[in-house]
Amino acid sequence: MRGSALRWTLSRGVAAIGTSVLGCAIALRDPEPASCLKGYPVSGPSSKVVHELSFGVDPKIAVDFTWWLATYVKTLLQLPGMQGAKLLAPTAPFAPKPGVVFVLGGPGAGKGTQCSLIVEKCGYTHLSAGDLLRAARSSGSAQGQMIDEYIKEGKIVPVEVTVKLLVDAIKESGAQRVLVDGFPRNTNNVSGWQQVVGDSLTVGGVLFYDCPEEVMQERLLERGKTSGRTDDNLESIKKRFKTYAMETTPVLQYYEHQQLVHRIDGVRPIDAVWADSKAAIDKFEACFAAATKQPISVHLYSSNDPPTAVAEVVARVAKAATQKFGEGAVVVSGRELAIQGSFKAYGYEELRAFD
């Protein structure tokens, strides 16, 4: 790049801006014929196509895969019509996002028992929004005092506060797999989570333990004999049921629309319920595995004479990657892109790479 100044001069003398780029001077005046673009060679639609291959790679093999792919691309270039290739990878370091599973169910549906089993057998970290709020309230911190004031005045604690407590707890735990128990309770919780968390965490889905009110009521009354909880009485239980049904049903409908809810019959014996919980966790793990694969891309430049279908290329690469690295280590997808036009910087007509 040569270091002279590019000066843009507006036709009516409003402003002039100088900058160093590509060593040329261009005056932008009132609109002129297409010749005003003569410094920027332009080509129209091309007979070439681009096969864009996307790879999701297990971070453990990312370095080995990249070296292998650089060699394997030479094999792909021997296919009919292939003319060149570019290997692309993100410049920022890859950091897998923690995976989150929401756990919902009415009071006494068996959430706590199943969460304990998931923690024990699957290595998840269990967080309860209610427990975090209670701990913060009693901490004596400024935030705890604010939470205490809301609760004393009968107001709902702002959802941003609850979500921040959850996010901070996830960060402090360092966990890659987290159960969030009893959240989101309502649609306000859902929107608050989306606004605060964004895409910094991966939500694998929702475990919903379905149980009739009469069964949950019997369980809670039995628990109340030894739990010491003031809300394990018949009057409080009925209020909790009503609030739960009214607020949580829209949340379930929202996530069901996204096919993220796993409904589990919570009436059955613990072992039977656990079998379904474990099956759901296995599905979530498949989702998390796909989300934690390092992205790598290849652009293959091809002519349509003779053509090689992108599906054929994807099948070849997927088969070779599986043979080399094992089943599921690499996920391959692809699409074909048409070249609608090419643009070059002034003075670089001799370059052919982007034709």
Report how far residue 265's alpha carbon sits from residue 252's, in angstroms, rounded to the nearest whole number: 15
Same domain, 140 and 231: yes
Tokens 């304990």 belong to: 116
Report which of residues 292 and 68 the model is more confident about: 68
Same domain, 158 and 266: yes
36 located within any domain: no
Same domain, 148 and 70: no
Same domain, 165 and 194: yes
**What amino acid occupies position 76?**
L
Residue 262 β-bridge partners: 207
Same domain, 14 and 161: no
Binding-site residue numbers for ATP are 108-113, 223, 268
Please report which confidence band the pLDDT of residue 44 belongs to, taking 50, 70 and 90 as the band edges. Answer: low
Domain end among 275, 291, 307: 291
Report how far residue 140's alpha carbon sits from residue 335's, in angstroms, rounded to the nearest whole number: 56
353 located within any domain: no
Domain end among 234, 259, 291: 291
216 located within any domain: yes
Same domain, 250 and 333: no
Domain holding 54: CATH number? Answer: 3.30.70.100
CA nearest neighbour of 19 among 28, 29, 8: 8
CA nearest neighbour of 165 among 187, 183, 186: 183
pLDDT for 179 beyond 80 = yes
Binding-site residue numbers for CMP are 189
What domain range includes position 13? 5-30
**Quick one: tokens of 139?**
């901490």
**303, 146 Cβ separation under 8 angstroms:** no
- 221's CB contacts (< 8 A; 6+ apart) are 232, 233, 234, 237
**Which range has the top average pLDDT, 202-206, 212-216, 243-247, 302-306?**
202-206
Number of domains in the chain: 3
Say what the pLDDT of residue 346 is: 61
Say what the pLDDT of residue 283 is: 93
9 located within any domain: yes
**353, 41 Cβ separation under 8 angstroms:** no
146 located within any domain: yes
Same domain, 186 and 258: yes
**What amino acid occupies position 235?**
E
Tokens 């379930």 belong to: 252
Tokens 């068996």 belong to: 110
345 located within any domain: no
Local structure of 211: helix, strand or coil: coil
**Quick one: tokens of 68?**
């292998």
Q: Whole-prediction pTM value?
A: 0.64
Same domain, 52 and 128: no
Same domain, 152 and 66: no
Local structure of 306: helix, strand or coil: coil
354 located within any domain: no
Same domain, 24 and 84: no
| Phi, psi angle pair for 27, to nearest 5° | -105, 125
Residue 115: CA count within 13 A, CB half-sphere: 24
Binding-site residue numbers for a ribonucleoside 5'-phosphate are 134, 155-157, 182-185, 229, 240
**Quick one: tokens of 345?**
């910087």
Digit-coded pLDDT (tens) for 281-336: 999 998 887 777 778 899 999 887 767 888 999 999 999 999 999 988 898 999 99
Give start and end residues of each alpha helix (H) in the chain: 62-76, 111-122, 129-137, 142-152, 159-173, 187-197, 213-227, 234-257, 270-291, 310-325
Domain holding 133: CATH number? Answer: 3.40.50.300
75 located within any domain: yes
User: What size, in residues, is the chain?
Assistant: 355
Say what the pLDDT of residue 349 is: 56
Local structure of 183: helix, strand or coil: coil
Local structure of 221: helix, strand or coil: helix
Q: What angle do CA 263, 108, 126 make, to 5 degrees?
A: 70
Same domain, 151 and 13: no
Percent of the chain scored above 90 by pLDDT? Answer: 45
| Phi, psi angle pair for 340, to nearest 5° | -85, -25
Digit-coded pLDDT (tens) for 119-143: 999 999 999 988 899 899 888 888 8
Same domain, 79 and 137: no
| Average pLDDT of the segment spanning 185-196 | 92
| Phi, psi angle pair for 96, to nearest 5° | -60, 140
3-state secondary structure string across 63-118: HHHHHHHHHHHHHHCCCCCEEEEEEECCCCCCCCCCEEEEEEECCCCCHHHHHHHH
pLDDT for 217 beyond 90 = no
Digit-coded pLDDT (tens) for 140-176: 888 889 988 887 776 778 899 999 999 999 999 999 9
